[in-house]
Chain A
Amino acid sequence: MKSFWTTFSRNRGAVIGLAVLALVVLVALCADLLYPGSPWDMATAPFQPPLSEGFPLGSDLLGRDIAAGLAHGARVSLLIGLVSTAVALALGVSLGALAGYFGGAVDDAIMRVTEFFQTIPNFVLAVVLVAIFTPSIGSIVAAIAIVSWPPLARLARAEFLSLRSREFVQAAITSGQTHATIIFRQILPNSLSPIIVSGSLMVATAILLESSLSFLGLGDPNLMSWGFMIGAARTVIRQAWWMSFFPGVAILVTVLAINLIGEGLNDAMNPRLARARQ
């Protein structure tokens, strides 16, 4: 664990990313303290530019506080990013593990299903799913998870395939261990590194997907989100740049931070690559 942190902290970008993400998380957690009340409430006159009295980031078309929107939106973005990635991980890794471990017909069946999902453009499928199941936080999480599990399944399958033929797994088979023991105790811990790394990057993709859905007006109507703020302000982007600029920066910075962390994790968890870079 100590060596993990040493390697991780050697990547300066990853440490910066971690700091930025920590800040975003902190803001999200303290949103109710910083900006009590609903971010949907009209707080001042519409079209207030940034740095106006009491509203450092200005107000939007209907006089809502943009800073409050950002703080509350951070919650939605992070929540959806994390939950949908967790669901996609659970789905993708278990299917990939089964396919890679058992091979043969099981593998064929699972991989055909995976390919079916991969042939449909991600975003289109997500839009269709959310539109059918009516926009709500649940349906958005489900839609994002459903479009993001196939790459994870392929990754887990590849890891299981290669680890399955390793001698320590064969030794486990010859010593009479059950399939479940071999999958969970022998193979899974050894295949986790690349899965965690791509999972961390997937959080960033999920945040972008959620923003895109909200931008199109398919966000949860009860929850303020960054994508919705940009979408609502797009008609007045030439008169009031700040309304779309600040949420845009928030998305950019958060996604960038998560990507940097993912890269740092990659260095720390694939010691072979990290050593080659030294």
Chain B
Amino acid sequence: MNHETLLEVRDLTLALPGGGDRAHAVEALSFELAANEILCIVGESGSGKSMTAHALMGLLPRAVRPVGGEIRYRGRDVLTMSPAESRALRGGRIGMIFQEPMTALNPLVRVGRQIEEMLELHTELDRAARRTRVLELLEAVGLPNPPELARAYPFKLSGGQRQRVMIAIALAAEPDVLIADEPTTALDVTTQQQILELIGRLQTERGMGVIFITHDFGVVAEIADRVAVMRHGRIVEQGSADEVLNRPQHPYTRTLIAAVPHGLHHRDEPPPAGPPLLVAKDLRKTFRVGGGWLGGGREVRAADGISLEIRPGETVGLVGESGSGKSTLGRAIVGLMKPDAGQILFEGVDLLALKPNAFRPYRRHVQMVFQDPYASLNPRHTVGDIIAQGPVAFGEDRDKALARARELLGLVGLDASAAERFPHEFSGGQRQRISIARALALDPRLLIADEPVSALDVSVQAQVLALLETIRKRLELSMLFITHDLRIAARICDRVAVMQRGRIVELKTARELFENPEHPYTRTLLDAIPGRGWQVPDALVAAEAQRLAV
């Protein structure tokens, strides 16, 4: 097989504009990409991995300047090329796929036409040959009915289909290097699996070199031949997939891998018994999308007869892909949304039948932790205020509430002095801790966590999950944990409910669900977990458990 070196990066240093928190986006970066291989660049947010990809494509933002090193494509320096040469390279010899398929296509141009544009720019084909080639490409990326699809506008396509079209565009000019910048991060697991398979297949068929940028070690285990781990703009470790995944050397790589949610390490206490704290009975909710006064539009069934029990001290996981209706249940319980039918019984009282004034006391008992740590804290209030607002609304003395806020900050592992500062001074993980402290301020009995870690880096995810687990134990809370990630559900939940199209298709203890999935959809989901053939090395797991325990 051909293993010619395609891309060679030597001592690349990119300078950031002054005034930022660091001087270089990437520093002394060196790696190579050969034909017939997939190189995964792994790193957390801010590690410089996307900037590297953009530098390879000659797409650096104006403020970022290369100050040292070189990028060579088959011996030619990419950084010193003329704009015309650079354009011919971009899209012609090096193709790129982006993270967000929803915005990467021009919404007003038919799909076929967008692929054809690439052929016009980079090939000598005539009109008829281009048309044929477009259909071949759509076929190659596994899209059904290419002739019809070529005439469709992007809005008619699902996220996975759009990402396939993006891949077709990237491959149109038969490049020998493909750069994929987190191409599956915005997709559901099952779609992610298909796209990963597609990229793997196309890479082998065409003998391309692929640079695959990701934050997810599961994905790395799935497709990588070689791995480079980046942190703060530097490559800290580089080697074959087997070496890096199973025998990582650098401490940072070891922490990252240990933080990957893995297997069932479950709490040993007997499953809690007693009367349920909360019972949802046959909840139904239909949203109408589009349409006007006179009707029309499309109906989406977010809840189609959901029934669920949460017992005291129990953590119930609600797992599903986007649009499965998993958030609807959580929002209905905290009263942010009114279902069309059904009952929500909290200790036997139907919350949905209550008038707003009678419902208000129950708000204390059910609190929510939101998904986006950047949107869930009011940017104009101090952290202390944010936490104290709930108790103050329920008539607590302001000074007492603030004192309690400081205690809670200690409980979630932040310094009490954080109370005087504003949310923007904190990182994503710290903000999520503040969010948890706010939810705890009202001494709730049930905590609803709606994707509380999906916006966080892996290493921070592990810490926040450990915090939730500690707090749940210490305060004897019940928890409804909503997530799209089965690995995370397995880590924290006693029982897991799998949702699909507004229905719970399977509900059993986490262990049973993983060992003995019955519903075909559950099996599909389990199979789609990236990196399921790879086990996080045991030594790392033990070390991580120790670190989190301290």
Please name all residues of chain A whose beta carbon is closer than 8 Å to the beta carbon of B363 when the two chains form the complex. Answer: 174-176
Given A167-B370, A181-B393, residue A174 in contact with residue B334 (CB < 8 A): yes
Judge whether B1 is part of the interface by a CB distance below 8 angstroms. no
Give 11 pairs: A residue, B residue, CB < 8 Å, sorted on A: A167-B376, A168-B375, A170-B368, A172-B389, A173-B336, A175-B442, A176-B394, A176-B442, A177-B390, A181-B393, A185-B389
Judge whether B410 is part of the interface by a CB distance below 8 angstroms. no
Please name all residues of chain B whose beta carbon is closer than 8 Å to the beta carbon of A168 when the two chains form the complex. Answer: 375-378, 386
Judge whether B372 is part of the interface by a CB distance below 8 angstroms. yes
Judge whether A178 is part of the interface by a CB distance below 8 angstroms. yes
Within 8 Å by CB of B376, from A171, A185, A189, A190, lies A171
Given A167-B371, A167-B372, A181-B393, residue A174 in contact with residue B378 (CB < 8 A): no
Output the nearest chain B residue to A190 by Cβ-Cβ distance.
B380
Judge whether A166 is part of the interface by a CB distance below 8 angstroms. yes
Judge whether B367 is part of the interface by a CB distance below 8 angstroms. yes
Given A168-B375, A171-B370, residue A176 in contact with residue B380 (CB < 8 A): no
Q: Is B370 within 8 A of A190, CB to CB? A: no
Given A167-B370, A167-B371, A167-B372, residue A174 in contact with residue B380 (CB < 8 A): no
Please name all residues of chain B whose beta carbon is closer than 8 Å to the beta carbon of A178 when the two chains form the complex. Answer: 393
Distance from A277 Cβ to chain B, minimum over Cβ atoms (Å) = 12
Please name all residues of chain B whose beta carbon is closer than 8 Å to the beta carbon of A174 when the two chains form the complex. Answer: 334-336, 363, 366-368
Distance from A171 Cβ to chain B, minimum over Cβ atoms (Å) = 6
Judge whether A186 is part of the interface by a CB distance below 8 angstroms. yes
Complex-state Cα separation, A190 to B372, whole angstroms: 18
Q: 1/0 per residue A182-193: CB within 8 Å of B?
A: 000110011000
Given A167-B372, A171-B370, A181-B393, residue A176 in contact with residue B379 (CB < 8 A): no
Distance from B387 Cβ to chain A, minimum over Cβ atoms (Å) = 10
Q: Is A171 within 8 A of B368, CB to CB? A: yes
Please name all residues of chain A whose beta carbon is closer than 8 Å to the beta carbon of B380 when the two chains form the complex. Answer: 189-190
Output the nearest chain B residue to A188 by Cβ-Cβ distance.
B380
Judge whether B364 is part of the interface by a CB distance below 8 angstroms. yes
Judge whether B360 is part of the interface by a CB distance below 8 angstroms. yes
Judge whether B438 is part of the interface by a CB distance below 8 angstroms. yes
Q: Is A176 within 8 A of B390, CB to CB? A: yes
Q: Is B378 within 8 A of A186, CB to CB? A: yes
Output the nearest chain B residue to A192 by Cβ-Cβ distance.
B380
Please name all residues of chain B whose beta carbon is closer than 8 Å to the beta carbon of A171 when the two chains form the complex. Answer: 368, 370, 376-377, 435, 438
The residues of A with any CB-CB pair to B shorter than 8 Å are 166-168, 170-178, 181, 185-186, 189-190
Please name all residues of chain A whose beta carbon is closer than 8 Å to the beta carbon of B375 when the two chains form the complex. Answer: 166-168
Q: Is the interface of A mostly helix, strand, loop or mixed?
A: helix
Complex-state Cα separation, A189 to B378, whole angstroms: 10
Distance from A189 Cβ to chain B, minimum over Cβ atoms (Å) = 5
Q: Is A190 within 8 A of B379, CB to CB? A: yes
Output the nearest chain B residue to A169 by Cβ-Cβ distance.
B378
Output the nearest chain A residue to B377 by Cβ-Cβ distance.
A168
Q: Is B370 within 8 A of A176, CB to CB? A: no
Output the nearest chain A residue to B385 by Cβ-Cβ distance.
A185
Distance from B359 Cβ to chain A, minimum over Cβ atoms (Å) = 10
List 4 other contacts, CB 8 Å, given A168-B376, A176-B363.
A167-B372, A168-B386, A173-B336, A176-B390
Complex-state Cα separation, A186 to B381, whole angstroms: 8
Please name all residues of chain B whose beta carbon is closer than 8 Å to the beta carbon of A175 when the two chains form the complex. Answer: 363, 367, 389-390, 393, 438, 441-442
Q: Which of B335, B379, B390 has the most CB of A within 10 A?
A: B390
Complex-state Cα separation, A172 to B380, whole angstroms: 14
Complex-state Cα separation, A173 to B371, whole angstroms: 16
Please name all residues of chain B whose beta carbon is closer than 8 Å to the beta carbon of A190 when the two chains form the complex. Answer: 378-380
Please name all residues of chain A whose beta carbon is closer than 8 Å to the beta carbon of B372 when the two chains form the complex. Answer: 167
Please name all residues of chain B whose beta carbon is closer than 8 Å to the beta carbon of A181 when the two chains form the complex. Answer: 389, 393
Distance from B375 Cβ to chain A, minimum over Cβ atoms (Å) = 5
Complex-state Cα separation, A180 to B81, whole angstroms: 61
Q: Is B334 within 8 A of A177, CB to CB? A: no
Complex-state Cα separation, A189 to B367, whole angstroms: 25
Complex-state Cα separation, A50 to B380, whole angstroms: 54
Which residues in chain B, 373-422, are within 8 Å of chain A measured between CB atoms? Answer: 375-381, 386, 389-390, 393-394
Distance from A188 Cβ to chain B, minimum over Cβ atoms (Å) = 10
Distance from A207 Cβ to chain B, minimum over Cβ atoms (Å) = 32
Output the nearest chain A residue to B379 by Cβ-Cβ distance.
A190
Q: 1/0 per residue B485-524: CB within 8 Å of A?
A: 0000000000000000000000000000000000000000
Distance from A194 Cβ to chain B, minimum over Cβ atoms (Å) = 15
Complex-state Cα separation, A176 to B441, whole angstroms: 12
Distance from B421 Cβ to chain A, minimum over Cβ atoms (Å) = 16
Complex-state Cα separation, A167 to B360, whole angstroms: 19
Please name all residues of chain A whose beta carbon is closer than 8 Å to the beta carbon of B379 when the two chains form the complex. Answer: 190
Q: Which of A172, A174, A177 has the most CB of B within 10 A?
A: A174
Please name all residues of chain A whose beta carbon is closer than 8 Å to the beta carbon of B364 when the two chains form the complex. Answer: 176
Query: Which A-B residue pairs are the 10 nearest by beta carbons?
Result: A175-B390, A167-B376, A167-B370, A176-B363, A177-B393, A168-B378, A167-B375, A189-B380, A174-B334, A176-B393
Please name all residues of chain A whose beta carbon is closer than 8 Å to the beta carbon of B360 when the two chains form the complex. Answer: 176
Please name all residues of chain B whose beta carbon is closer than 8 Å to the beta carbon of A172 when the two chains form the complex. Answer: 378, 389
Q: 1/0 per residue B344-379: CB within 8 Å of A?
A: 000000000000000010011011101110011111
Distance from A42 Cβ to chain B, minimum over Cβ atoms (Å) = 56
Please name all residues of chain A whose beta carbon is closer than 8 Å to the beta carbon of B386 when the two chains form the complex. Answer: 168
Output the nearest chain A residue to B359 by Cβ-Cβ distance.
A176
Complex-state Cα separation, A204 to B32, whole angstroms: 61
Complex-state Cα separation, A189 to B385, whole angstroms: 14
Complex-state Cα separation, A223 to B4, whole angstroms: 87
Complex-state Cα separation, A189 to B422, whole angstroms: 14
Complex-state Cα separation, A178 to B360, whole angstroms: 10
Distance from B472 Cβ to chain A, minimum over Cβ atoms (Å) = 18
Within 8 Å by CB of A177, from B336, B371, B389, lies B389
